[in-house]
Amino acid sequence: DAGVTQSPTHLIKTRGQHVTLRCSPISGHKSVSWYQQVLGQGPQFIFQYYEKEERGRGNFPDRFSARQFPNYSSELNVNALLLGDSALYLCASSTRDRDEKLFFGSGTQLSVL
C-alpha cells in the first residue's frame, strides 16, 4: 500500500507569491494534518482536517489556509509568502480525528527567495 504522498517535493517561490501544496493520505485514512518544520526544529502543527472539516488550527497567520476533499486528499495554501515561510511542510494522515498515531509523508521543501 502507498504511504502518504505529497507534491511537489521541492518548490522555489519569491516573496509575495502564493503556493499550493498537495497531500494524499494513506488509503482508508480520513484525517489529514499539516505541520511546518523549520531547519533544525521539530514539526509545528498548522491544521487538522477530518471528514472535510477543520478540527484544529495552530498558531499560524490567516495567510495559511487548507481544505480537504471528498476523497480525503488535502491542500495547504499560503498567500503573500514571506522569507520566514521557507521550511519543510509535512502532511500526516491518521485513521480518524482522535487517532494520535500520525503517518507522515516526505514533505514539500519550500524555499522563499
Partner 1 sequence: GENVEQHPSTLSVQEGDSAVIKCTYSDSASNYFPWYKQELGKGPQLIIDIRSNVGEKKDQRIAVTLNKTAKHFSLHITETQPEDSAVYFCAATLSWGFKTIFGAGTRLFVKA
Select 79 or 105, whichever has its Cβ closest to partner 1. 105
- Rounded to whole angstroms, how far apart are CA atoms 47 and 59? 9
Select 9 or 14, whichever has its Cβ closest to partner 1. 9
- Rounded to whole angstroms, how far apart are CA atoms 96 and 76? 19
Contact at 8 Å (CB) between 92 and 33?
Answer: yes
- Rounded to whole angstroms, how far apart are CA atoms 101 and 82? 31
Residue 16, number of CB atoms within 10 A of its CB: 10
Q: Is 60 in the site for partner 1 (CB under 8 A)?
A: no
- Rounded to whole angstroms, how far apart are CA atoms 33 and 43? 11
- The footprint of partner 1 on this chain (CB under 8 A) covers a number of residues equal to 26
Answer for which of 60, 65, 95, 99 binds partner 1 (CB under 8 A) is 99
Answer for which of 45, 65, 86, 95 binds partner 1 (CB under 8 A) is 45
Answer for which of 24, 33, 68, 74 binds partner 1 (CB under 8 A) is 33
Select 18 or 51, whichever has its Cβ closest to partner 1. 51
Task: List residues binding partner 1 (CB under 8 A).
Answer: 4, 33, 35, 40-45, 48, 55-56, 58, 90, 92, 97-107
